[in-house]
Structure 1
C-alpha cells in the first residue's frame, strides 16, 4: 500500500475512533455505523459511503424521500455496483498488470472483468492470477450476488404492490 493511501486510511481510522469514543455508545456505535465499521476493515469499499452522504444531505434539507423504498434500494444497489465495480477494476488492474501469465493487461481488460464478474456472467476470458487478485474477485462475486438479489427482490416487491393495488381497485400497475 503506497504511503499516501496509508495516510488516508490512518486519517479515516482516527476519525472513526474519535467519533466512536465521543459517542459514548461503545459497541452500539459499531452496530449503528456498520458501514463505517466495515470500511475500516475493507478500505476498498470506501466509495460506497457516498450513499450515506446523499441520504444525510437529503434529510438535512428537509426533503422527504422522492422514491419508494424499493426504488431507493434499486438506486443504491446500482450506485454501489458501479462504485464497487470501478474500485475492483482499479485494484485488479494494479495487482494483475505485471503478473506473469496474466490475462488482464489494460484497465479496459480489468473493467471488462469487473463488469462480467459483478453481473455474475463471468465469461472467463479475463481472470486474475495473483492470490490478492483472486481474493478481490471472490469479494466481488459475493457482492454481485448480493446486489443482484437486492435489486431482484425490490423489483419483485414493487410488482407485487402494484398488482395488489390493481386487484384492490386502486388503478393500473405502476400508478
Structure 2
C-alpha cells in the first residue's frame, strides 16, 4: 500500500468526502423539489450545499499541494476531480470514489473485482440519474414549450436515457438541459459498457473453469491417485 502524504490524505478523508457529497446532494434536492418550503429552510439548504462545495475545493487544493505537481499537470492527472468541482451533475461520483478509498484501507477488498465493478457502476448510475433528473427538472419545468413539466417527467427521461433506450417522447429544450442530457447519455453508455464487459469477463472465467477439470481438482490430487495399485 502506498504511504505517501497524498495517499494517507486520500485514505483518511474518504468518510468526510462521502458525507459532504451526501449533504450537497440532499441540500440540492430539497431546494429543487421543495419550492413550497419556507424561505429560511431553503436558505439553510443553500448554505449546506455551498459548505459542501467548499469542502471539495479545500480537498482539491490540499491534494494538489501534497502531490507536489504544478497546476497544469495536476489538473490533467486529476481530471475527474476537476470536473467534480465544475459540474454539479458529476458530484455524486465523489460518493463512489470515497467509498472506494475507504475500502482500500483493508488489505483485501471485500468484493471480487467483477462484483466491485458492477456494484460501483450500479451505485454511480443511481446517483447520477438522481442528480441528472434534479438538474433537468430545475432547468426545464418553467421553460417555454418544455416537455418536462414534472419531476416524474425528468426521472422518466433520465431513466430512458441512461438505459440507452431513448423513447423520444420527452426532450429538453433549454441549452443547459440539453447539455445535461448529453452528459447523461455519455454516462449511460460508459456505465453500461463497464457492467456488460465485467459480466462477460466473469462468465468467460466461469466457463473456462468448468471446461478445465484440472482447475477444479483439489491440490495434490492426481488423475491416478484414486486407482488401486497391485
Q: TM-score, normalised by structure 1?
A: 0.85
Residue in structure 2 matched with residue 65 of structure 1 by the alignment: 109
Per-residue deviation, residues 87-108 of structure 1 (Å, max 9, x unmatched): 0000000000001111111111
Q: CA deviation at 1:55?
A: 2.0
Determine which of 73, 77, 89 is the counterpart of 1:44: 89
Runs of 4+ with >6 A deviation = none
Name the counterpart of 2:130: 86
* Partner of residue 142, structure 2: 98
Aligned to 1:115: 159
Larger deviation, residues 114-123 vs 41-50: 41-50
> What is aligned with 2:11?
none
- Give the 3-state SS of the residue equivalent to 2:168 in structure 1: coil
Please give the per-residue CA displacement for 1:76-119, whole angstroms capped at 9, x wherever unaligned: 11111001110000000000000111111111110111000100
Query: What is the RMSD of the two structures over their aligned residues, measured on CA atoms?
Result: 2.3
How many pairs align? 170
In the alignment, which residue of structure 1 is the partner of 2:80? 35
Matched, 1:53 2:98: yes
Shift in Å at residue 14 of structure 1?
3.7
How far is 1:17 from its partner? 1.8
The 10-residue stretch of structure 1 (33-42 or 118-127) with the greater mean CA deviation from structure 2: 33-42
Matched, 1:25 2:69: yes
User: Does structure 2 conserve the Cα–Cα contact (< 8 Å) formed by 1:116 and 1:123?
Assistant: yes
Deviations 1:50-75 (A, max 9, x none): 11221222233x26223221111111
Equivalent positions of 1:128-167 (< 5 A) are 128-167=172-211
Assess, with a 3 A threshold, how the Cα gap between structure 1 residues 94 and 144 changes in structure 2: closer, same or farther.
same
Q: Aligned to 1:105, what secondary structure does the other structure show?
A: coil
C-alpha change, 1:8 and 1:65, in structure 2 (3 Å) is closer
Separation in 1, partners of 2:211, 2:184: 40
Question: How big is the shift at 1:125?
Answer: 1.5
> 2-side partners of 1:98 and 1:19: how far apart?
40
What is the Cα deviation at residue 121 of structure 1? 0.7
TM-score (normalizing by structure 2)? 0.66
- Structure 2 unaligned runs (5+)? 1-30, 32-45, 217-230
